[in-house]
Every structure is written in structure tokens, then in C-alpha cells.
Structure 1
């Protein structure tokens, strides 16, 4: 207990002492000194060491051995938490999809007008989870929408759906953009606490100021629902929309994986994790900005140099990056998410490079640079083809072929045409 208290005291002190507007080089020094590596990765290492020490110590006390939940159980727990929040009682979030959870899912489906089955379709789950995280990060706006709806938190779901379906359309048959970034996003578009003092151009949207990826995925999910399910390689007509679906699937898997890992950490709250992971934004600012400017090889060379400065082992940094990737997507902070994804790619996990391809293809956290996106997509697809374990939707054997066809097949590139949902929905312009 004494060592744990010392660790947490040091952690708290390091966070409290960190200036909010320190330059990127200072944040890199903080990493070397143990801010991110010592706070998140250090906890992983310390907990592992303490577990080994406990194993060597003879004791007559009965101990409960903690096992981190599997990704699937963590996903169910996430569903249960979201269902409870929106007023569909699923019971205690235990990761087991029992009768209460199925009843809650049926109530949710009836509320949204989906076919009632008690089992979430992928697009239904995506809308439920992304809406929950949007509500959690909405602050006073969330409370205001809930109050105005007359249905409490359940009304948020209809509000988010209605917003995506046409509250912003321009008259009958109008077009609503899924991604407002264009190919020539200006360097000065980012603002806020993370846009000051940088020597290099900052072409990325800052955490809360740029377009919301969570809202984007809500809209994509609604079109997926109207189309009757996800696009496959055989059914694909719009390459860009197919990539948008896979982008949102990858985001969901990244959130679930990181939260599963974070659940095994002892002595650190989700709030502290978020606080620590936010340091990735300014620490990786230079490398995230380089995504919009440089080829993949040059970006990765820069990140590898950064990795060497941290003094952390690859295993520590990879664990930290997975957790902070989850946090970045959960709080809709693209700097944190991109910085984490870049670290994983630089550590040799090429399959994570798919994320950089998606961000560059749509302009979330970067300028929209479709020609640079192809390099990242190609490396990720080829890695899986050469035997690397898929990290997103590993149970879908056709996903890699879909990505390849959407990016490179039949001269479609990654441009695509406008989304063509069912006639009951407005057309979404993705250009």
C-alpha cells in the first residue's frame, strides 16, 4: 500500500505540475521523465511486478485473481452501460448478455423503429455506443437537449438521429456533408489550447474544435441502417462510403480494446487516464501535423526518433498507445487518437496504419489528403495479407478484400460518389 500511495502521489504531482500550453519538445521531455510512460505504462509495469511479488509471497489469505475481461465481454458491458444511460434497464453491466440485456435491447430497438429482435445489429450497436459517448462529452448541451425532448435521455437518441437525417439539410432534397473537410484545409483552422506555439504548420483539427468523428459515425450508421446492412466487396457501389463504414467499425474496435486493457489497471481512475492521455496531443503534435505534409516513411521515421527519446520499452509504449487510442476516440480528441495510432504504427504494428489512411481520406484531425491516405491503406492491407493479425473486425474474413477494392479497385480510388440511401432518407453528400 505504501508503494502504491507513492506512485499515485507522484502521478498526481506530475499532472498538477504540467503547464497547459507547454511546447511539443517540453512534452517529449516529459515523456522521458515519466509523464505518459511513467503514468500509464509505468502503472502497467508496476502492477505486473507487484503481481509477481505476491505470487512469490506465501500467505493464508484467500485472494481473488483479477482477469481482464475479453473484448467481447467488454463490448457487452459497453452496450449495457449505454442502454442503462438511455433509460433501457439492462441491469448491472457485467459483460453477460442475459435476459435483462436482451429486453433492454428490444426496448431500444422499438424506441428507434428498428426490427425488434433482442440482438443488436452492427449498425444499431454503433449508433447506440457513439450516441452514448456523444452524450457523455456534451456537457450542458446534453442536459438541454434531454430536457427539451420531454423524454429525458431517451430523447437524445431521437435528437441525434433527426440531426443526422436532415435537420441541417438545405430544403427539400438538400445535401448534408458527412465530412466538412476538403482537400485544401487551411493551416490556421485549428485553435484552442493545443494550437499555440508550434513552429511547424498545424493542419489538424484540435480535439473539440474540428468536425466530430462521433457525429460522423452516427450519420454513417443511419445510412448503413437504411441500406439494410454494411457494404461488402461484392455489393460495393460507392467506394468512399464503404471506407467510411470501415472507419467507424475500426473506431469502435479501438475503443473496446483500450477499455478492456484499462480495466486491468489498478489504482487509476478513468478520469486520470483521460488526463494523462491528453498529453499525447501536444507531445505528438509535430508528427500528427506531418501526416498532412509528408509521405508515410518520413512520418514514421520522425515518430521512431520520438520513441527512442522516451526511454520506454516497446511493450510499454504499445500498451499505453492502445489505451490512449481508445481514450482519444471516446472523448472525440483526434490529436490523442492520431498520436496513439502513429506510435503503434511506428512500433511495427502496420495494421494500425489503416487508421491514418481513414483520417487522411476524410480530414478528421488532418488535412484531407487522399493520395497520402493510399500509402497507409496499402501498408495495412498488405500487412494482413502477409499474415499480420487483423486488429479491427478480426472475425470478418472479407474485410481486407473490401478495403483493397475500395481504395484501389476499378480505378475507384478513395473518392467515391454521393451516398445513395433508401428513398425515405435524404441524400448525404460526402464530398
Structure 2
């Protein structure tokens, strides 16, 4: 018996040493992928055009479509997805018939290292993506083992619905040095499935509750007149949402409150996302303004909702993209609108990253001047030629100076200090 115990103890010790060695190979001190939050306005514009061409409302059952994604756009999409679903950073390199994906996730401080780095080599077989090889840190992992572990992990992340839908719709994939192409067959049921996966019953109920609070508040304010400051509605709406338990649940309640407000102010039909919402009550007519302007209330609220749902870089890119588009064939480029976009983005970020601080600010009361700084001196209504002459573009020094001035004004607000 003593010899057996000794043998077992020795075997356990060797196993622990082996595991420690594997961990030392897998965990590293430096990230393989450095954070890159850039999501360009051009990428947003191309994504919008892609969605317009493949609008599911215009597709018929069994229709086959081909999609071509440029390498840069695909890399941006991958970065956004991995930040949202896997809470890490990613990079992509395409070659003929081959792709290399690199991924870094931060870890709690350990003696072994601070980062989990992964490199996956992908190929194409019979029109499907195959995993050819994987390295976790300096540790090679057999592809079948990694596939099984990855599937098990993804089932517990926000990416599970997207990946499940991708596997059900895509029939063929091709990889080239500068693009990835795939063919999909449309089934209308997938749209309902996507809605159910993206917005489950619990979330739908939260959104319905937030909508009812919005209607009740707008009706109360509309009784005083046809126009009102945005803060008169948004402040109490968020305050009501903030009564949820602290932490992640409060952040989720803030996010849903911002989302229903954004749907209302933008004039979009929430029924396109939640069909039963078409039966929800509608508020009395009321024009909400920010710094006295209806358009700024819209910019602010939509940017706040986008930032709360998808992260600050996405909201920034959407706002900038709209202004550049307006300079070509709209109302003109407006730094005032951009200031409202940025301030709204900051509020959305605050709602999800520091909900306790937002709750304290709401308890003290919000005014429009607390949401958006003074806008005097910010140029607007510039058509493309004037905008290029005065400010060049988003990378030009004159533009950066104006952007920095907007950031300075927003940073001076007590809410965002």
C-alpha cells in the first residue's frame, strides 16, 4: 500500500509539473495582437452598402447569393466580433486558399504571464473552412482537439448565435490574398431565428418595460407643451432603468433604455427587430431638443445607444461617416453634429462601463447643458468643397485641432470627468 501511495504521489507530482510546463508555454508576457480600435468611416459605408445589396426583406426562399469581403473589411469585422464576443483583440492575414488569424486575450496577473496568445492557420476544403494548425502561445495544439475545445467555449459566449447562423447559411467559401468570398442560400426562417437568438424573451421583456417607461414619461412631459429638452425625458428614463440591481444588470437596463429612446428619436420601426413591438402603445407627439435643436437630440441619443450596444469606436465611426456623407449630398458637414455624436458616445460608454457613476449623476438630476457642452464657434453646414478647403479630412491637422477642441469641451462636463 505504501508503495502504491508513493507511486500515485509521484505520478501526481509529475502530472502537475507537466501541466505547469504546458501553462508556461501557453501563457506569455507580451500580447501577440496590440489593441486596434480603428473602425473607419469607409468601412462603415461599405458595410451599409453590403447590407443594402443583401437586404433579407428582398430575398426569396432558396435564393443563392455571393458575398465578397475585402481583407481590410473582414479584418475590421473580425476585430469587432472578437472584442464583443471573446473580449480580446484579433488580426487577420489572407493568402491564396489560406488565412492566418491571431488572437490575444488579457489574463489576470499570474507569475506565468499576462496574455493568452493564439495563432490559427485556416485552409479551405470542399468549400468549407478547415483548421490546419493552432498554436496557443508556444504550445502547438492538434487541430481536432482545438476545434472541439473552441466549439465548447463558443457555446458560452455572445458569438454562439452568429456562428450557428453562419454554419447554417454558408455553402461555399473561397480565400484569396485580398478578399474572402462566400456563397449562402437564403431561408426566411433564419431571420426569425436571428431575432430570437439576438433578442431572447428576457431581453424583449426588458425592452418592452423600457418602452412603456418612455411612453409614460413622454406623455407626462407632452402635457406641458409640444417641445421639451431631451434631459427632461432621458434623465428620468435612465433613472428608472438604474433602479435595477447594480453591476451588469444595471448596465443592461441602461443599454435597453437608450435603445428604445434611439428608436423613437430616429423614427426607426422597432417592430423590424421585435415584431410584437408594433402593438406597443405610442407616446403623445413631443419634439425633444438638445441645446434647443431637434437634430442634436437625435445625434446624441443614437450615438449613446450605439456606444452602449457596440462600443465607442463603432459609434465614432458611424457619426463621422454620416457627417462626411452629408458633406457630399446632404445638409453639409457639421462639427456641431459631431460634438453631439461624441457626447452621446461618452454617455453610452459611461452607462456600460461605470453604471454606478451614471446612477449618482442621475440622482442629482441632469440638464441639457450637462449632456452637451456649448456649441458656439463649431463650423457646420459645410459642403464637400468647403470642408476639404478648410479642414482637409479626418487625418489633416486642421481637422484634428477641431476634434481636439470638441473633446476638450466634452471633458469639461462634470458627467464625463
Query: When the two structures are superposed, what TM-score results if normalisation uses the length of structure 1?
Result: 0.28
Higher relative CO (CA 8 A, sep ≥ 6), structure 1 or 2? 1
Query: When the two structures are superposed, what TM-score results if normalisation uses the length of structure 2?
Result: 0.29
Greater radius of gyration (CA): 2
